[in-house]
Chain A
Amino acid sequence: MANAAIGRSVPRKEGRSKVTGEIQYIDDLSFPEAIYGTVIRSPVARGKILGVHFEGDFPWDEFIKVTAEDIPGENRQALILNDQPCLAVDRINHREEPVLLIAHPNKHLLIEARKHVRIEVEEETPIYTIEDSDAKKEVIWGEDNILKKYRVEKGNVDDVWASAHKVIEGEYRTGAQEQLYIEPQGMVAKASPEDGVTVWGSLQCPYYIQGSLEVLFGIPADQCRVVYAATGGGFGGKEEYPTVIAGHTALLAWKSGKTVKMIYDRAEDMAVTTKRHPSLTRHKTAIDKDGKLLAMDVEFLLDGGAYATLTSVVLSRGTIHAVGPYLCPNVRVNARALATNLPPHGAFRGFGAPQSCFAIERHMNKVARAAGLTPEEFRNRNFLNKGQRTATGQLIEENVDMQGLLTTALEKSDYHAKKARFAKENVGQRIKKGIGFATFFHGAGFTGSGEKHLASTLGMEADRNGRIRVLAASTEIGQGANTVFSQVAADTLKISYDAIDIEKPDTEKVPNSGPTVASRTSMIVGNLVAVAAKQLLAKLREAQLLGDEYTPDQFNSACDQYIEKHGELKVISEYSQPPGINWDEENYQGDAYGTYAWAAYVAEVEVDTLTYVTEVKDFVAVQEIGKVLHPIMAAGQIEGGVAQGVGFAVYEKVVWRDGVMINNQMTNYIMPTASDVPEIRVFFEEEPYAYGAAGAKGIGELPLDGSAPAVINAVEDAMKIDIDFIPMLPEDLFELIESAANNGQGEE
């Protein structure tokens, strides 16, 4: 074999089609016969629907109209619970909730007409905050507003407080964050009772959509076909929400008998789709006089919005990551997701962990201060090491060296020298510089027994020329799935990377390799590729067509002969859980994840005291992620995540008014531009994971966890001020400085 593909930065599989503009996203596909659909939404956050009125001078009888009554199957979004209707019937639980669908061949007319459908409602009092929901100011969901709760217990925290050297408390908040993929969501559908339903779209998880269409139309899965179109970014935002759009588009298609296209404009996309759950975390921590953790009591609360969507899973990951990569004999995490009358919050890269990681990494700095230790010394005394147990009691068996990662990160960023220099030079300066870090871990793949339940499968097929086609439902959303699958297939089969093709995800053609989420695609599905490739080789060897050693030509001719004789050469691989994983879902105890990625991030900031603007000037990201399959793409994943984390920390604020995002424009929701990102320097350490593809662990979500707290810890260093929330905008810093000045805190 000429050159192993793994570990080498081979060109991205679909790279060429992306730089020429040839690749087709949903809005690029041509459906000349398509008519256009749109959603009529609730004008209030909570209330009763009294009626729908079609007003204005429009040929209303020409419009296709779909209400809940037109739904052939069940009126619900099939996700985890059944609480969310596809179309609201009599109750409204959030602004912009879908009430009715209309379609028309004339796009221009549709745009105007939608403004003239009036939904008459009787308003009721909505609630918008975690606190109001927790206090049951109004009960808007179930009996107590609690969408989901978890409790993690290790030891007994209550035995510790009295005798502890110190007890430190803190309260931390994170805001909603918009995924802001640059391609807005969209779907095209064809549907009829005879042919079933087909949808094409921008999406992460084809089989989630298939599952929801089955329920909505009451037809078998094989009559619900979901086809992926090139997807312009997802970050979790195209995990569950596309099921909503797919359902709406398909219902219009079903009723009209026509192909229906529904592409959101940016304003609609931002106002109605899911965002990162806002959070509120309360920490109470006990330490001994050596600065060792004795007890950690955490209350972790998420704002789930009006319906449960995937909130329970987001809460779960946030819960498990709530005490960070630290060893503590006594831990209690009480986690609750609460309903509010905001549009449902949902998946966003990191899935609850960035929220709880912000809290713990800010809190650890606070505890370090109370202990009289530097942030790094305090952490070094408390890091979790091999042979120790996490909060859920999981025994860490991999080689973990958090202290080593932190040391590397501090060296690469010249942390100590800079910290000392800034402290000296900041005095009297208009620009204050600061440097800070965060240390964290991220569990790879689904939580607990998630992967076992998913039982993913993947196919691989050869043609007579020895070209290999990988059949997987995992979608390429920019993260490089196509490329990694090809690398793994090529190296396992010992053939060229160029001889691998990836089938376009289409539920009619590819088996269910699971959703494209949870940093699982390279690690778990990539491993299924390796397993399939081995099965394929085994078939050829069983048929005596291939020896232990072979050239690519011999491989090609073996495929040719096999197919000549058997008609096809195709294998299906299935997930099998690595041995020794035990997870107790009831008590939240056991092996939460098969493996973890570990990291230490350092941020350097400048704060302008004239304008209160924080700019991130340098960023060092050191992480251990198992085998690095593709160095350039892996670095790209980290850099992209860091930029989103910087946004989460100091730029990206969802401004709510009356239950809806009012800055739903790219001009007013501020993500970093090329001028705003720091230089991001990425370093990898590799501890191959035996059950990940070629030793890989997941990396996709990791960078979101630690970036924001690193940035805010740096701002704290620059300004000597406590900041316990993000996004922390200049306006917020101004207010903090004002109140610190009034309370005698802060510098000068």
Chain B
Amino acid sequence: MVSVAKVNFDCTINGEKKTISAYPMARLLDVIREDCELTGTKEGCGEGECGACTIMIDGELVNSCLVPALQADGAEIKTIEGVATGEQLHVVQESFVVNNGAQCGICTPGMIMAALKLLEEHPDPSPDDIRHGLAGNLCRCTGYMKIFESVLAACQSMKQEV
């Protein structure tokens, strides 16, 4: 079987410029995990359902398992590895540690990306905002309560910081 040709394109991942060489229809998820060796982004289903592969492209949440590599041409990508500043965890990450928002941890990277977006759009989220904002990210361990608490606590800390 003859393969199609790989394509080369540029994008930015966590602030770093990268040139990617990939099959055009390779999943961005695999490009990130295998070619860029950023394995924090997870695969839970490969069908857009679980949210474990959630990243941001140009500031918007997307499921990286559903994005073909070629559509990331020129994209600004942010993954879980780009959330902390050096050794300094982001408030949301810190809050997930303190409030046990991560149990087995497999949903956590995606969940944190969704939580970041949620707090960006709703600095003072209602319970419904939180549920809606995180509904695309399945978690089988926590029953979500500790995740909600992590988000609320992060929101409190963020307010105090300002």
Contact B47 A666 (CB under 8 A): yes
Contact B145 A635 (CB under 8 A): yes
Q: A230-B105, A233-B106 are in contact. Are A632 and B140 (CB under 8 A)?
A: no
Interface string of A168-200 (1 = CB under 8 A from B): 000000000001111110000000000000000
Chain A count of residues within 8 A CB distance of the other chain: 61
Contact A21 B39 (CB under 8 A): yes
14 A-B pairs with CB atoms under 8 Å apart are A15-B97, A15-B100, A16-B97, A20-B40, A21-B38, A22-B40, A27-B39, A27-B43, A28-B33, A182-B139, A232-B107, A667-B49, A674-B135, A677-B143
Query: Any chain A CB within 8 A of the CB of B9?
Result: no
- Residues on A with C-beta less than 8 A from B89 are 16, 19-20
Q: How distant is the Cα of A14 from the Cα of B100 in the complex, in angstroms?
A: 11
- Residues on A with C-beta less than 8 A from B109 are 21
Taking A57-B1, A179-B140, A640-B143 as given, write out 14 further A-B residue pairs in contact, using a Cβ cutoff of 8 Å, ordered by the A residue number. Answer: A17-B105, A18-B105, A19-B101, A21-B80, A28-B33, A112-B1, A183-B106, A232-B106, A636-B103, A643-B143, A644-B143, A666-B50, A674-B134, A675-B131
- Residues on B with C-beta less than 8 A from A15 are 96-97, 100, 102
Which of B1, B143, B144 lies in contact with A109, CB distance below 8 A? Answer: B1
Pick the most buried of A17, A20, A108, A233: most chain B CB atoms within 10 A of its CB.
A20
Which residue of the partner chain A has the closest CB to B38? A21
Contact A25 B103 (CB under 8 A): no
Which of A18, A57, A180, A642 lies in contact with B108, CB distance below 8 A? Answer: A18
Chain B nearest CB, measured from A443 CB (Å) = 23
Main secondary structure of the interface of B (DSSP, over half): loop
Query: Any chain B CB within 8 A of the CB of A82?
Result: no
Interface string of B130-144 (1 = CB under 8 A from A): 111011111111111
Chain B nearest CB, measured from A664 CB (Å) = 11
Instruction: State which of A472-480, A561-569, A588-596 sits at the interface with chain B.
Output: A472-480
Which of B41, B52, B140, B145 lies in contact with A680, CB distance below 8 A? Answer: B145
Contact A478 B100 (CB under 8 A): no
- Residues on B with C-beta less than 8 A from A633 are 100
Q: How distant is the Cα of A230 from the Cα of B109 in the complex, in angstroms?
A: 14
Query: Any chain B CB within 8 A of the CB of A24?
Result: yes
- Residues on B with C-beta less than 8 A from A230 are 105
Query: Any chain A CB within 8 A of the CB of B99?
Result: yes
Chain A nearest CB, measured from B17 CB (Å) = 21
Chain A nearest CB, measured from B19 CB (Å) = 21
Interface string of A626-647 (1 = CB under 8 A from B): 0000001101101111111000
Query: Any chain A CB within 8 A of the CB of B158?
Result: no
Query: Any chain A CB within 8 A of the CB of B11?
Result: no
Contact B143 A641 (CB under 8 A): yes
Chain A nearest CB, measured from B127 CB (Å) = 8
- Residues on B with C-beta less than 8 A from A450 are none
Chain B nearest CB, measured from A700 CB (Å) = 11
Interface residues of A in 411-445 (CB under 8 A from B): none
- Residues on B with C-beta less than 8 A from A182 are 42, 44, 50, 52, 104, 106-107, 138-140
Which residue of the partner chain B has the closest CB to A24? B39
Contact A478 B105 (CB under 8 A): yes
Query: Any chain A CB within 8 A of the CB of B7?
Result: no
Query: Any chain B CB within 8 A of the CB of A156?
Result: no
Which residue of the partner chain A has the closest CB to B147? A674
- Residues on B with C-beta less than 8 A from A478 are 103-105, 141
Chain B nearest CB, measured from A26 CB (Å) = 11
Query: Any chain B CB within 8 A of the CB of A9?
Result: yes
Q: How distant is the Cα of A28 from the Cα of B3 in the complex, in angstroms?
A: 26
Chain B count of residues within 8 A CB distance of the other chain: 58
- Residues on A with C-beta less than 8 A from B139 are 182, 674
Contact A21 B106 (CB under 8 A): no
Query: Any chain B CB within 8 A of the CB of A601?
Result: no
Interface residues of A in 1-21 (CB under 8 A from B): 9, 11-12, 14-21
Which B residues are closer than 8 A to A by beta carbons?
A: 1, 3, 33, 37-47, 49-50, 52, 79-81, 83-84, 89, 93-94, 96-109, 112, 130-132, 134-148
Chain A nearest CB, measured from B60 CB (Å) = 19
Chain A nearest CB, measured from B26 CB (Å) = 10
Query: Any chain B CB within 8 A of the CB of A725?
Result: no
Q: A15-B102, A21-B81, A666-B49 are in contact. Are A640 and B41 (CB under 8 A)?
A: no
Contact A21 B40 (CB under 8 A): yes
Chain B nearest CB, measured from A8 CB (Å) = 12
- Residues on A with C-beta less than 8 A from B99 are 632
Contact A479 B103 (CB under 8 A): yes
Chain B nearest CB, measured from A418 CB (Å) = 20
Which of B52, B97, B148 lies in contact with A19, CB distance below 8 A? Answer: B97
Which residue of the partner chain A has the closest CB to B83? A20
Query: Any chain B CB within 8 A of the CB of A673?
Result: yes
Q: How distant is the Cα of A230 from the Cα of B1 in the complex, in angstroms?
A: 37
Interface residues of A in 258-272 (CB under 8 A from B): 265-266
Which of B98, B103, B137 lies in contact with A674, CB distance below 8 A? Answer: B137
Which 4 A-B residue pairs are closest in the complex by CB-CB distance?
Answer: A21-B40, A232-B106, A478-B104, A18-B105
Chain B nearest CB, measured from A486 CB (Å) = 15
- Residues on B with C-beta less than 8 A from A11 are 97-98
Query: Any chain B CB within 8 A of the CB of A665?
Result: yes
Query: Any chain B CB within 8 A of the CB of A671?
Result: yes
Contact B49 A665 (CB under 8 A): yes
Which of B3, B47, B137 lies in contact with A266, CB distance below 8 A? Answer: B47
Q: How distant is the Cα of A30 from the Cα of B46 in the complex, in angstroms?
A: 20
- Residues on B with C-beta less than 8 A from A232 are 42, 104-107
Which residue of the partner chain B has the closest CB to A632? B100
Q: How distant is the Cα of A21 from the Cα of B137 in the complex, in angstroms?
A: 16
Q: How distant is the Cα of A231 from the Cα of B100 in the complex, in angstroms?
A: 17
Pick the most buried of B52, B97, B137: most chain A CB atoms within 10 A of its CB.
B97
Contact A671 B141 (CB under 8 A): no
- Residues on A with C-beta less than 8 A from B93 are 19-20
- Residues on B with C-beta less than 8 A from A666 are 44-45, 47, 49-50, 138
- Residues on B with C-beta less than 8 A from A378 are none
- Residues on B with C-beta less than 8 A from A22 are 40
- Residues on A with C-beta less than 8 A from B107 are 182, 232
Chain A nearest CB, measured from B34 CB (Å) = 10
Pick the most buried of B3, B89, B108, B134: most chain A CB atoms within 10 A of its CB.
B108
